[in-house]
Structure 1
Amino acid sequence: MKELYLEFLDVENIESVIEKFHDTIIDTNRSYNFFVDWDKVRNNITKYKIEFHILNSLVGSKQFEDDLKEILQKYPQVLPAIPILLAIRELNLKVIKDFTEKVPKVVNYDFNIRNLTPEDIDNIIEFFDKTGLKNLLINMVTKNIYDYAIGVEVGLDSHARKNRSGDAMELLLKPIIEEIAKKKGIQTILFQKTFEYLETNYKIKVNSSIQNRKADFILIKNNKKVINIEVNFFSGTGSKPQEIVDSYIERQNELKNNGFEFIWITDGEGWKGQKNQIHKGFEKIDYLLNLYFVRIGLLEEILCRI
Structure 2
Amino acid sequence: MKELYIEFLNAENEESIIEKFHNTLVDTNRGYDFFVDWDKIRKHVEKHKIEFNILNSLIGSKQFDNDLREILLNYPRVLPVIPILLAIRDLNFKVIRDFTDKNLDIVNYDFNIRPLTLEEIDGIVEFFDKTGLKRFFLEMGTKSILDYVMGVEVGMDTHARKNRSGNRMELLLKPIIEDIAVKNGFEEVLFQKNFKYIETNYGIEVNSSIKNRKADFILIKDNKKVNIEVNFYSGTGSKPQEIVDSYIERQNELKNNGFEFIWITDGEGWRGQKNQIHKGFEKIDYLLNLHFVRLGLLEGILCRI
**TM bucket, shorter chain:** over 0.9
Alpha-carbon separation, structure 2, partners of 1:39 and 1:69: 34
Alpha-carbon separation, structure 2, partners of 1:142 and 1:78: 18
Please tell me whether the aligned partners of residues 142 and 148 of structure 2 are also in contact (alpha carbons under 8 angstroms).
no
Shift of 1:143: 0.7
Please tell me whether the aligned partners of residues 49 and 146 of structure 1 are also in contact (alpha carbons under 8 angstroms).
yes
Q: CA RMSD in A?
A: 0.7
What amino acid is the match of 1:215? A
- The answer as to 2:236 corresponding to 1:237 is yes
- The answer as to 2:22 corresponding to 1:22 is yes
Alpha-carbon separation, structure 1, partners of 2:142 and 2:274: 57
Please tell me whether the aligned partners of residues 215 and 228 of structure 1 are also in contact (alpha carbons under 8 angstroms).
yes
Q: What secondary structure is seen at the aligned counterpart in 2 of 1:129?
A: helix
Alpha-carbon separation, structure 1, partners of 2:142 and 2:175: 43
Q: Show CA shifts across 1:144-171 (max 9, x none).
A: 1110000001111110000000110000
What amino acid is the match of 2:131? T
> Percent of aligned pairs with the same residue?
76
Q: Show CA shifts across 1:121-163 (max 9, x none).
A: 1000000000000011111142111100000011111100000
Please tell me whether the aligned partners of residues 229 and 262 of structure 2 are also in contact (alpha carbons under 8 angstroms).
yes
Shift of 1:261: 0.3
> Which stretch of the first structure deviates more once superposed, 138-147 or 262-271?
138-147
Q: What secondary structure is seen at the aligned counterpart in 1 of 2:178?
A: helix
Query: Which residue does 2:10 correspond to in 1?
Result: 10
What amino acid is the match of 2:231? N
Alpha-carbon separation, structure 1, partners of 2:59 and 2:281: 63
List gaps (5 residues or longer) in structure 2.
none
**Which residues of 2 match residues 1-306 of structure 1 at below 5 A?**
1-222=1-222, 224-306=223-305
Q: What secondary structure is seen at the aligned counterpart in 1 of 2:26?
A: coil
What amino acid is the match of 1:161? R
What amino acid is the match of 1:48? H
Please tell me whether the aligned partners of residues 2 and 286 of structure 1 are also in contact (alpha carbons under 8 angstroms).
no
What amino acid is the match of 1:290? N
Alpha-carbon separation, structure 2, partners of 1:141 and 1:155: 20
Alpha-carbon separation, structure 1, partners of 2:102 and 2:13: 75
Q: What secondary structure is seen at the aligned counterpart in 1 of 2:36?
A: coil
What amino acid is the match of 1:238? G
Q: What secondary structure is seen at the aligned counterpart in 1 of 2:261?
A: strand
TM-score, length-scaled by structure 1 = 0.99
Please tell me whether the aligned partners of residues 216 and 231 of structure 1 are also in contact (alpha carbons under 8 angstroms).
yes
Alpha-carbon separation, structure 2, partners of 1:141 and 1:257: 66
Runs of 4+ in 1 over 3 A off after TM superposition: none
Alpha-carbon separation, structure 1, partners of 2:8 and 2:127: 66
Please tell me whether the aligned partners of residues 8 and 295 of structure 2 are also in contact (alpha carbons under 8 angstroms).
no
Alpha-carbon separation, structure 2, partners of 1:177 and 1:275: 27
Q: What secondary structure is seen at the aligned counterpart in 1 of 2:191?
A: strand
Alpha-carbon separation, structure 2, partners of 1:234 and 1:141: 45
Q: Show CA shifts across 1:228-284 (max 9, x none).
A: 000000000001100000000000000011111000000000000000000000000
What amino acid is the match of 1:90? D
Q: What secondary structure is seen at the aligned counterpart in 2 of 1:228?
A: strand
Q: What secondary structure is seen at the aligned counterpart in 2 of 1:28?
A: coil
Please tell me whether the aligned partners of residues 73 and 116 of structure 2 are also in contact (alpha carbons under 8 angstroms).
yes
What amino acid is the match of 2:35? F
Please tell me whether the aligned partners of residues 80 and 113 of structure 1 are also in contact (alpha carbons under 8 angstroms).
yes
What amino acid is the match of 2:126? E
Alpha-carbon separation, structure 2, partners of 1:11 and 1:170: 28
Shift of 1:182: 1.4
TM-score, length-scaled by structure 2 = 0.99
Alpha-carbon separation, structure 2, partners of 1:14 and 1:162: 36
What amino acid is the match of 1:278? I
Number of residue pairs matched by the alignment? 305
Shift of 1:4: 1.2
Please tell me whether the aligned partners of residues 141 and 148 of structure 1 are also in contact (alpha carbons under 8 angstroms).
no
